[in-house]
Amino acid sequence: MKLLKKLVLTAAITTLYSTSSFASEGNDNFVAISPGVKSVDITLNGESFTIMRNQSKDSKISSLYDTTFRGTPQPISLGAGIETLGEIEFIEYMKKAQNDKSIAIIDSRKPGWFAKLRIPGAVNVPFTNFNEKDTAIEMMEDEMGVVEKEDGTLDFSNAKTLVLYCNGYWCGQTPGMVKNAEYALLKMGYPAEKIKYYRGGMQAWTSLGFTVIGEASK
């Protein structure tokens, strides 16, 4: 009886790993983004680049993100109506943004972090701009499709879909821009359904070996 159970278990495992998804990943000689996909070519905000995972078996996480002694974990959701993204969804928005000007891929970190290491194609809109009303409105007009009317009210009818990221799970910069700053997006009336939050940010992006640019990438 024990031998029979062992044979049945072995057969089940063999069947599982012979299905198409497992087989294709196992037979590909590259580290995939998704099953069968090695890379994605993108042109965004004047940059042309290839998104892929580092193919070297000796690849290590950037020293900027190899320590756990930092920050406070952020909630998985920043509020009702705000979608939280993973890497696959983030890349899909990058692909769409190439031909859809109503989508903005935004790095919400301070300029120093942006210069050191960033996801290619992103625009830097530091969260600190939302500590003051004038700079918050200026950023929304310049980068987010918001219009300030003559009476001072804001018109969000053509507001862009914002795909935001910062340093990672423990980073409060995107949450600051979205809801915590004095003049955060939600406080100013930005539509929640047009805000997308890549919570993993640079911590997750670099841990998976995805393409980065900046001073620390050399």
Tell me: the pLDDT tens digits for 32-57?
Answer: 999 999 999 999 999 999 999 999 99
Higher-pLDDT residue of 25, 68: 68
Q: For the sheet containing 161-165, what is the strand order?
A: 83-85, 195-198, 161-165, 103-107, 123-124
For residues 86-94, average pLDDT: 98
Euclidean distance between CA atoms 128 and 75, whole angstroms: 20
Report domain 37-217's class: alpha beta
The count of C-alpha atoms lying within 13 angstroms of the C-alpha of 181, restricted to the half-sphere facing its C-beta, is 23
Q: 188: phi > 0 → left, psi -120 to 50 → alpha, else beta; which?
A: alpha
Euclidean distance between CA atoms 142 and 93, whole angstroms: 20
This prediction's pTM: 0.86
Amino acid at 65: Y
Ranking 8-17, 46-55, 58-67, 175-184 by mean pLDDT, the lowest is: 8-17
